Amino acid sequence: MKRRILLGLIILFILSMGVFPATVEGTLPVGLVVRSPLFGTDVAQTTMGAVPFGTYAEQLGLPEKNPIAANNDTLLAQRLLMAVSDSTYPVTPGDALRLIYADGVNRISVDLQVDSMYQLDIPSMGTIDAKNMTLPQLKERIFSVVSTYYAYANPQLTLIRTGSFLVTVTGEVSSTGSFEAWALARLSSVVGSATNYASTRDVVVKSLDGTEKHYDLYKALKCAQLSEDPLLKAGDVVVIGKAGRIVTLSGAVFRPGTYQLMDNEGLKDLVTTYGGGLLPQADIQHVRVQHFDVASATLQADYIDLLSHDSTLGRYDQVVVDTVSESGKSIILEGAVRSDEAYDPTTSTAIVGQVSGRIFYQYYPGETLQQMLKVIQGRLMTSSDLEHAYLVRGGQKTIINLKNIISGSNTGEPMVLQADDQLTIPFAQRFVTVSGGVVRSGTYAFVPDKTADYYLALAGGPSTDAYKPLSVSITDENGKKVDRSATIGQEYTITVKVNTFVKDLAPAVAIIGLVSTAISILYYSVITINNLK
């Protein structure tokens, strides 16, 4: 028993040293701010106002204008360097190359150019179809042709200028037009004429062969899915449609901005996925959703508690995550509690060993500890040790049995919360005892959803004195027998039957062997003495 208690204290000490998040002096506290429901839902609307609407370029993180003009020599030089250093550079109409080879007597230099049909004519040697070829593949093909005519030609090929072509962009744009592109130009480089209400999630590229493909530029530029931002080809037509739902997000989030949501996405998706999550000072229980009411021609606002439910969003809605009032008094609740930003207690799956959390609870004047526990009880874990929680107030530490307070069986005076109270709920570490015919008898940390075989393996398996066939008995924490195949619970005892006959026989065999040895020694001693006479 003492060994089990000592092991538990060691584990709790390790957990307390490693999993409780620390704060850094001079920075905002790390944790979730929860506001007491006793404050009600009456939130001041003095901060209402239009949220800045992001342009198409801002939605995708694109520069508003290309800093280098298309006919600039610097740009052309940059293109050439990129082409020769990229082994996947596709041959493009307008590409100019310089071929140098020996015809047996003279060293010949000739400039070649890929025409609009991807044909490359080599004087006196024929024509090469370069369609769907990369630059290295074309180089290999040209060398093969030259070597056919001149065995010792020692050919050399250099790209001296990259080709360019026009791509037509139409749809939800300021004006339909053609834009210059080149072989390494991607879809995102020609959408600068799109309006602020154009779709970033569904852009169509129609190829010269009649095929159409749909691309999501948001995934390409914000989620690093390069396949959604393809290379353009000569003859491509880009069609940009109208956006579906455009919403703006501002306030206490990591990535405020204008976003276009998919059909199945709501407020939680906007805040957690698109906005990157909430800042520590965010008022998660009063997320403001503003929308324009056509009937009254006014800006209306709804306040959503993101802890309890999600919300659908309409086209052009404006979401504002306000900060919690600095004047509100709060206490710190930390340890074995969930502090997910958009946690839904109805679908919680807390398990043993989960990382500890921290909650800053803004309490209503006169609110009691029991009232607060009713608000946050959905955030407690199966591993929360409610019977050994402690409250630090004014430097004094008090052990509190939260289990009694939650159940209402506490007979003492209700504890009223005070500013700067700190309530810590430790992790409960339970054990399973394995004894009898095993290699290593002892207590082992409880793990949910495991059978006896798991703990027998931890104990090293059956020992040599285990009864054959193997006999295992299991009792729960109350001493009641449990079926062999059942899932092991906390404080269960697993006992492997020992073969007592073999165990008791071993000392007797040892004694008989010792006596037999002594008699043998005495017998041979007597014979030896008689022979000496």
Same domain as 317, residue 253? yes
Domain end point (choices 321, 354, 379):
321
Instruction: Kindly indicate the confidence band of residue 42, based on its pLDDT and cuts at 50, 70 and 90.
Output: low
Q: Which residue did the predictor score with more confidence, 4 or 275?
A: 275
Q: Tokens 């109270």 sit at which residue?
A: 421
The CATH number of residue 112's host domain is: 3.30.1950.10
Mean of the pLDDT values across residues 198-207? 95
Name the average pLDDT for the chain. 81
Instruction: Kindly indicate the confidence band of residue 14, based on its pLDDT and cuts at 50, 70 and 90.
Output: very low
289, two tokens: 């959703």
Is 257 inside any structural domain?
yes
Q: Which residue did the predictor score with more confidence, 379 or 18?
A: 379
Same domain as 178, residue 131? no
User: What is the reported pLDDT for 352?
Assistant: 40
3-class SS shares of the chain: helix, strand, coil, % to 5:
25, 30, 45
CA distance 103 to 87: 29
Mean of the pLDDT values across residues 301-307? 84
531, two tokens: 């022979």
Domain end point (choices 407, 425, 443):
425
Domain count, the chain: 5
User: What is the reported pLDDT for 140?
Assistant: 93
Is 393 inside any structural domain?
yes
116, two tokens: 């609009």
Neighbours of 116 (CB within 10 A): 11
pLDDT over threshold 50, residue 19: no
Percent of the chain with pLDDT over 70: 79
Mean of the pLDDT values across residues 145-162? 91
Is 525 inside any structural domain?
no
Same domain as 444, residue 316? no
DSSP bridge pairs for 425: 335
User: What is the reported pLDDT for 281?
Assistant: 79
Is 49 inside any structural domain?
no
Mean of the pLDDT values across residues 122-137? 92
Q: Tokens 């090293």 sit at which residue?
A: 460
Tell me the residue ranges of DSSP E strands in 305-446: 318-321, 330-335, 357-362, 389-393, 396-400, 422-425, 431-436, 442-445
Express each pLDDT in 451-504 by its tens digit.
999 999 999 999 888 888 889 999 988 889 999 889 998 889 999 998 876 555
Is 513 inside any structural domain?
no
Same domain as 259, residue 139? no
Give the length of the chain: 533
Same domain as 125, residue 215? no
The DSSP symbol for 347 reads G
pLDDT over threshold 70, residue 110: yes
Domain end point (choices 215, 242, 269):
242
The sign of the dihedral angle between the CA atoms of 254, 258, 260, 265 is positive
Is 23 inside any structural domain?
yes
Same domain as 217, residue 174? yes
C-alpha distance across the termini of the chain, in Å: 68
169, two tokens: 């962009």
User: What is the reported pLDDT for 237?
Assistant: 96
User: What is the reported pLDDT for 54?
Assistant: 85
Same domain as 351, residue 288? no
Cis peptide before 469 (omega within 30 of 0): yes
User: What is the reported pLDDT for 275?
Assistant: 93
User: What is the reported pLDDT for 26?
Assistant: 35
The CATH number of residue 290's host domain is: 3.10.560.10
User: What is the reported pLDDT for 509?
Assistant: 55
Closest C-alpha to 9, from 337, 432, 429: 429
User: What is the reported pLDDT for 65?
Assistant: 59
Same domain as 401, residue 370? yes
Helical spans, DSSP H, in 274-394: 369-376
Helical spans, DSSP H, in 184-291: 217-222, 267-268
Mean pLDDT lowest among 67-76, 187-196, 264-273: 67-76
Closest C-alpha to 141, from 151, 152, 155, 124: 155
Same domain as 398, residue 263? no
Q: Which domain holds residue 398?
A: 2-41+327-425
Same domain as 238, residue 249? no
Express each pLDDT in 239-284 by its tens digit.
999 999 999 999 889 999 999 999 999 999 999 999 999 887 788 8
Is 533 inside any structural domain?
no
Is 447 inside any structural domain?
yes
Same domain as 344, residue 419? yes
User: What is the reported pLDDT for 305?
Assistant: 85
Same domain as 151, residue 213? no
